[in-house]
Amino acid sequence: MAVAELGVVVLDCPDPRALARFYADVLGGTVEVQNDGRDEWVDLKLPGGQALAFQAAPGYVPPEWPGTDGAQQFHLDLTVPDLDAAEKAVLELGARPLEADDRSRSFRVYADLAGHPFCLCAC
């Protein structure tokens, strides 16, 4: 029997609203800003009931890819039907390539607006 159920994946970042809009443009969904007016927490409700959340983190430092100690931090794998079209779209939204030059692989690695790594993966 499970002890818990996964609620939401939360990404720390300097600007939760901007990062939520970036992922809404990539994944679809609805951005919901908390009503406290401080923009410290923003939810992205995705089609199908999934969600991502974005939390303000003072002093945020983006992860290194690949990590200098060989350890890999958390990253998102996003499946796409066309790697070239998806790459063009995320770059136009402000992503930057981390490992996108090897066209023989079935995935490419990018950083989002706050520096979190994510992969576009051919489905």
The CATH number of the domain holding residue 33 is 3.10.180.10
Give the residue ranges of DSSP H helices in 1-123.
16-27, 83-92
- pTM comes to 0.87
Domain span holding position 29: 9-56
CA distance 41 to 63: 20
Residues 30, 44 contacting (CB under 8 angstroms):
yes
Residues 109, 98 contacting (CB under 8 angstroms):
yes
Same domain, 17 and 47: yes
- Has residue 65 been placed in a domain? no
Q: State how many domains the chain has.
A: 2
Cβ neighbourhood burial of 45 (10 Å; 0-12, 13-18, 19+): middle
Tokens of 104: 């023989």
Q: Which residues have a Cβ under 8 Å from the Cβ of 58 and sit 6 or more positions away? A: none
pLDDT tens for the chain, residues 1 to 123: 876 688 889 999 999 999 999 999 999 999 998 766 666 899 999 999 999 999 999 899 888 877 666 555 678 999 999 999 999 999 999 999 998 677 888 999 999 999 999 999 998
